Structure 1
């Protein structure tokens, strides 16, 4: 957990597939602890074809049943089917404008840096997260409520919610320089 916090969480991701993997993992995290998801991340990657959206989009009912029986991952049928449906939506978004562009353009390609002093100050969701959730659902993504999407935004570095005084805060801010938009 410490290594994840210090090297990944809140560090801006600009790769479309990495963003989609993060969104999928946040889907599975809903209602569970992140420690469980992080511990199972290698199994999720194996079960979901390395989070290759083109491969996951071809998964059918037999694949969903297989995944629902796989004890290495979270066996929630609704979340599994949501990830499969979201792979199909990702392909459409990626082909039209790029998934990273779709997500990042909503905030002008700039991570939002908050200045929280204590964990209890950090919101579970924001209006910005709710807007992105609505946009994702409109494009066919599933299991993308405001809380899940805000957690995705935090994890993917669209929002930097490292506390003031956190040793990883400055590194996350420095890593937030985007590539040139498409």
Structure 2
């Protein structure tokens, strides 16, 4: 089965007073050039912010993030890859940040991940992210989960959304709409089901011209008007 974009658009449009209100509400992704221009420190910061957001109120983490930026020297990968276990223990005494040892330990690991990608690709991490095709965004999720630290599950997509890379999110509302449309019969976890979901989004993107992030939001709004 497939999702009908015209039905989706009409359903979501009824939630808003005007076309302008709907378009203003829908999320925006950064253009490829914008992703390439971002420093790799911004990607490490976004990775780390996502790791700390997991299982916590996002507002609590976000309020402390300026203190994280200061404590971790702006998240420059070349510096943070050198963090020692003793330095991590030192951060456990800093009451301006969230003192979660396991999550703190991901910072030098993800710094190494970024540096490894740079060496392998011969370009910045931002270029690597920008050049990855949206038609296989689940492939990027898999890579992040395999090679990054604590970037599995929903965290890969959530990191990409924070960084500005176009991606869909498999929230409970999005999954509910996919199930109602007969695309999947349960929350997709297997690679087979993930490929089916990617195919459904690719078809929607081809028929609408919209980025994945907006299609994801529209699917959610078709189930939950308060999204």
Q: Same fold (TM over 0.5)?
A: yes
Contact 1:57–1:85 (8 Å) recurs in 2: yes
Kindly name which structure, 1 or 2, has the bigger radius of gyration based on alpha carbons: 2
Structure 2's unaligned 5+ residue stretches are 1-23, 167-212, 219-227
Partner of 2:50: 26
Structure 1's unaligned 5+ residue stretches are 1-5, 113-126, 165-182
Which of 136, 150, 159 is matched with 2:157 structurally? 150
CA-based RMSD of the aligned residues comes to 2.5
The runs of at least 4 consecutive aligned structure 1 residues that moved more than 6 Å come to none
Residues 123-167 of structure 1 deviation map (CA, whole Å, 9 limit, x = unaligned): xxxx835x323312444x211113111111222221335956xxx
**SS in structure 2 opposite 1:42?**
helix
More helix by share: 2
Q: Superposed, which structure 2 residues align to 1:122-161 within 5 Å?
A: 128-129=137-138, 131-139=139-147, 141-159=148-166, 160-161=213-214
TM-score by length of 2: 0.54
Q: Structure 1 pair 145/10, CA: closer, same or farther in 2 (3 Å)?
A: farther
Which of 46, 63, 83 is matched with 2:87 structurally? 63
Q: Structure 2: how far apart are the matches of 1:79 and 1:18?
A: 18
Q: Structure 2: how far apart are the matches of 1:29 and 1:47?
A: 17
- Which one has more relative contact order, counting CA pairs under 8 Å at least 6 apart? 1
Partner of 2:130: 104
Q: Structure 2: how far apart are the matches of 1:32 and 1:10?
A: 24
TM-score by length of 1: 0.66
Contact 1:10–1:155 (8 Å) recurs in 2: no
**SS in structure 2 opposite 1:146?**
coil
Contact 2:145–2:156 (8 Å) recurs in 1: no
